[in-house]
Structure 1
């Protein structure tokens, strides 16, 4: 099921099926609204238009409207337009049950692949037919693969749920119980893994290697069929599900709202991106309940239109009863002695008023489409009444859907206590394992936690456009400024605070900066350089008597995390804040005191949602070495 953090593999399967049902499609125009949010305008048959929203690492689904695009399209959007605009979508597929969606797009004699990753930080990657990367949205180098231009895009091999043999091998080699094996190795997740166990009639605590793979595989295929063909998408306060899994339940649970399609449900569930908020800034803000109510009204209107259209088709059948009966009789007899290709060829050569009313052939269904004021499909092996009955069934189906939607709208649900569910944890970035902060003008500043990290920052991450900063005392963090900043007072305070000056109880320190080419690990003859230390040659820029102080705070929007650094910077960005200065309390005690202080500014409900974000470890990561006092507290 989809949560605020993103979609699951089952959700991707449901969206994939929804998109495939609209093929063939053609790429019209591509937009990029934010750093990781893109949109693709798609054209379908019969002048159909679709809008696909992609938020890398989180979601992909159709929407009714796009945010307003930027005046100047970003470079990545322009590159995708160059390669893909006007191309035909040949296939849309998911890689196993992974959160990876792949579009095969043909343009002229060439085929391209647009790969959408919804796991971790996410990515959108354009490759050629052989999976050689042309350009990714985000460049990455991992231990086992590179996502950079000219590298080959690689994916995991075996799909555990792809065949009975694969599943049997996966279960046989898994030492966990069945539900955990399916949830983790099978990539089903906990909710769907438990459902598969129930459907297969196997206790979930059964060792995976002892479970009957045939029964499990049949249950998995039944789940996939349910998600793809019998879906009843619902939205609750905390999740969006492509199908209701309550066995035998015909009604929607009280805390859930039903939608006609999964994309509609996902659009109602996910909060707007920044770009969407800008687009609707002048419009009144709707609550989630109001948005759901609006979608239900739209669905009812569509049901009425479908019912009216189908009723008109039934009326046209009986108004033209003799012609319809003649078409059925003639084609039924002809199909017994001629192929459908021969029938179509014969009728195309016969230019009569009646034959011209036959506008399309469907050999695989033994049916034709006729135009008698209304276009309709007629099955030639059924009677006139049986053909009309097919359309009556459609009317009954949509009347039932309309009744369900009306009942849901009339249901008065008890108002629940307002709880925040829009708290989204900040995803781990590569530099979060160092000390770090972002200056007021948006430049990332990194600091080593120990000698090993000092070595790593200089040798691996310091480049020509950076700045080397260090407190002029023994035992200090190496600080690297990743770009040009006008806020060197903030950088200097960061370097002074995470140095031996704090440990010695000093309230200020001198700090200097130098260019990367001035920093060396090569000593003079007879000298020795310890690990984590460097020689700086040439002129330095000094910052005298820099005050030492550290701010630690809690950020909730747009993503929740604990941050630390110069107090003035941290205070302006956080909901809850504490300021540290050299003092008497040990780092562990200080971390606990700060944690209690931050928790006082949030509600109990927010505290539950922040359990994995706001804790002693995340706070302690920003506490300087040595004793500290918390400003304003005893």
Structure 2
């Protein structure tokens, strides 16, 4: 489901299918509104016009209107216009279930690919037909790929959800429980992973390698069919979904709104971009009284229209008195000996002019809709006066509403204007699932939460320019420093605090660092290296008697988040802060205590806005394993 952080792979699949339904399309003009926000004006058949909004790393969908573009188009927008304007969209596709959308665009004898990345910080990349990068929106070099001109854009080889065979191989090689394997390895996310387990009738907690891939693939296929062919979007306070998933027994529904298409729901769900806000700010402003009056005037107008329409229906009933009486009598009699299906079949086959005036049958209500100049629903077990009475009740209801609105217009009072603070949640980055902090000189430091993450950090994310750090005790997080830092004191405290030393109640520990080339999984002859452990060969750099302490704090600007790490770092970056040291209280109790401290230091209005950010889980993520005491706060 789409959240404020961005769209999921399932959401991308639904939007992709929606866009494919518009083909053939031609690229008209390309705009760039902000650093990561672009717009493409598309032309379809029979003079159809579509506007595609792209916010790299977050969303892509159709919109009704674009923000006002800058007077001088940015360089990247001009570059894309040069290559793509006038080109024909040959295909629109998603790569597997990844958050990657690819447009194949033909222009002349050449074919280009416009690749839209919606994961992490996102990107928009133009390549040739062989995926050689011509120009990206953002240049970037990663451990396993480069997003720079002339590099080859690499896509993953297999799609875990693409076939039964692929799914079976993926599950067989995953040692996690089923729901986590589906959520992470198959890129379904938590909500859809649980839905697939429920649909397949399989316990989500069972090991993934023991699950029946046939039942799961059938449930996956059913889910894909729903989000492509049976879209019924809903919008709640925290998410936007392309379909209504079957809720678990006893769970409340979050549905609040329905939309005709998923793009329409996404446009309503996502906050405006800065460019859109500027555009809105330039519009005429009305006072609170003027806004209320305009709303009331609009409501009264609608009430008048409804009253007029209903009065015309009543007039039509009595103008066709004989026909309506005969219709009621005939259908009431027929329904006593025939089913409604038989009655409908008989009347559809007859050439009677009166029968042809019946537009729709409602068997469950014993009613029909007839065309008597107005389309009117007639209940056949009620008299003509009772049928007319139903519409008189509607007239009375809207007249009463109109009277209430008129009274309210006379008593409108201005409300004291309150200024609401805007709180923007920190964007979820790829490394936030590990333990992490940023040093005082802005270097990212990562730590494993368990043996599995220790393995992943070393095998997947440790690069040549990094540094391997570990507490010199049994049972400690693998810590990776992503670059060169002058603050190894902060890194050492991070490594020491998230180690067995804390659990054992020690107040200091020794820590060492080594180069990536010194770290290996290959043991000496006759030895064994367990999961999450490594062999470090050669000389190490030691940091002796490192004090154990962790700070947990709340930042509100520029983005709101709970952060944790070495006390000195967190103390310098937050106004609301608690310091932990080894002690007697269990991790869950400590998390609740820290949460209370953080909440006591924000206003009630801020606490409401921080509901999805400031919670026990976000605090517990930074609490070390073992007993703790709160030794300081501010």
TM-score range, shorter chain: 0.5 to 0.7
Structure 2 distance, partners of 1:35, 1:234, is 29
Structure 1 distance, partners of 2:185, 2:287, is 40
Counterparts in 2 of 1:237 and 1:172: CA distance versus 1, 3 Å:
same
State the 1:51 CA deviation: 0.8
* Contact kept in structure 2, 1:63 and 1:264, CA below 8 Å: yes
State the 1:423 CA deviation: 3.9
**Aligned residue in 1 for 2:614:** 610
**Aligned residue in 1 for 2:13:** 13
* Contact kept in structure 2, 1:555 and 1:562, CA below 8 Å: no
State the 1:208 CA deviation: 2.6
**Aligned residue in 2 for 1:193:** 193
**Aligned residue in 1 for 2:425:** 424
Structure 1 distance, partners of 2:483, 2:214, is 51
* 1:280 alignment partner, SS class: helix
* Contact kept in structure 1, 2:101 and 2:116, CA below 8 Å: yes
Are positions 1:577 and 2:575 aligned together? yes
Provide Cα deviations, 1:197-230, integer angstroms capped at 9, x if missing partner: 2222333334333333222212211111111111
The 5 A counterparts of 1:279-290 are: 279-283=279-283
Provide Cα deviations, 1:339-375, integer angstroms capped at 9, x if missing partner: xxxxxxxxxxxxxxxxxxxxxxxxxxxxxxxxxxxxx
**Aligned residue in 2 for 1:355:** none
Count residues in correspondence: 407
Structure 2 distance, partners of 1:113, 1:286, is 49
Structure 1 distance, partners of 2:256, 2:444, is 48
Counterparts in 2 of 1:612 and 1:126: CA distance versus 1, 3 Å:
farther
Counterparts in 2 of 1:427 and 1:29: CA distance versus 1, 3 Å:
same
* Contact kept in structure 2, 1:95 and 1:102, CA below 8 Å: yes
Counterparts in 2 of 1:270 and 1:422: CA distance versus 1, 3 Å:
farther
**Aligned residue in 1 for 2:150:** 150
Counterparts in 2 of 1:172 and 1:130: CA distance versus 1, 3 Å:
same
State the 1:19 CA deviation: 0.2
Structure 2 distance, partners of 1:135, 1:245, is 40
Structure 2 distance, partners of 1:616, 1:247, is 28
State the 1:50 CA deviation: 0.8
Provide Cα deviations, 1:105-152, integer angstroms capped at 9, x if missing partner: 111111111111111111111111100111111111111111111110
* Contact kept in structure 1, 2:562 and 2:619, CA below 8 Å: no
The 5 A counterparts of 1:246-395 are: 246=246, 253=253, 255-283=255-283
Counterparts in 2 of 1:272 and 1:286: CA distance versus 1, 3 Å:
farther
Counterparts in 2 of 1:556 and 1:247: CA distance versus 1, 3 Å:
same
Counterparts in 2 of 1:559 and 1:58: CA distance versus 1, 3 Å:
farther
**Aligned residue in 1 for 2:68:** 68
| Structure 2 portions without partners, runs of 5+ | 303-348, 361-367, 369-376, 378-397, 399-419, 446-464, 468-481, 491-539, 543-552, 566-570, 584-589, 625-630
* Contact kept in structure 1, 2:134 and 2:150, CA below 8 Å: yes
Structure 2 distance, partners of 1:224, 1:435, is 43
* TM-score when normalising by structure 2: 0.53
Structure 2 distance, partners of 1:215, 1:421, is 46
The 5 A counterparts of 1:93-112 are: 93-112=93-112
* 2:155 alignment partner, SS class: coil
* 2:221 alignment partner, SS class: helix
State the 1:2 CA deviation: 0.6
State the 1:63 CA deviation: 0.7
| Structure 1 portions without partners, runs of 5+ | 301-382, 397-402, 404-409, 411-418, 437-444, 450-454, 463-467, 478-529, 533-551, 565-569, 621-627
* TM-score when normalising by structure 1: 0.53
Counterparts in 2 of 1:560 and 1:71: CA distance versus 1, 3 Å:
farther
**Aligned residue in 1 for 2:334:** none
Structure 1 distance, partners of 2:5, 2:32, is 21
* Contact kept in structure 1, 2:561 and 2:613, CA below 8 Å: no
The 5 A counterparts of 1:510-589 are: 554-556=555-557, 560=561, 577=575
Structure 2 distance, partners of 1:69, 1:201, is 51
* 1:169 alignment partner, SS class: helix
Counterparts in 2 of 1:142 and 1:607: CA distance versus 1, 3 Å:
same
The 5 A counterparts of 1:418-457 are: 423-428=424-429, 434-436=438-440, 446=442
Are positions 1:232 and 2:229 aligned together? no
State the 1:186 CA deviation: 1.6
* Contact kept in structure 2, 1:595 and 1:619, CA below 8 Å: no
State the 1:248 CA deviation: 12
State the 1:170 CA deviation: 1.6
Are positions 1:44 and 2:44 aligned together? yes
State the 1:169 CA deviation: 1.6
**Aligned residue in 2 for 1:183:** 183
* 1:7 alignment partner, SS class: coil
Structure 1 distance, partners of 2:111, 2:29, is 18
**Aligned residue in 2 for 1:242:** 242
Structure 2 distance, partners of 1:184, 1:151, is 28
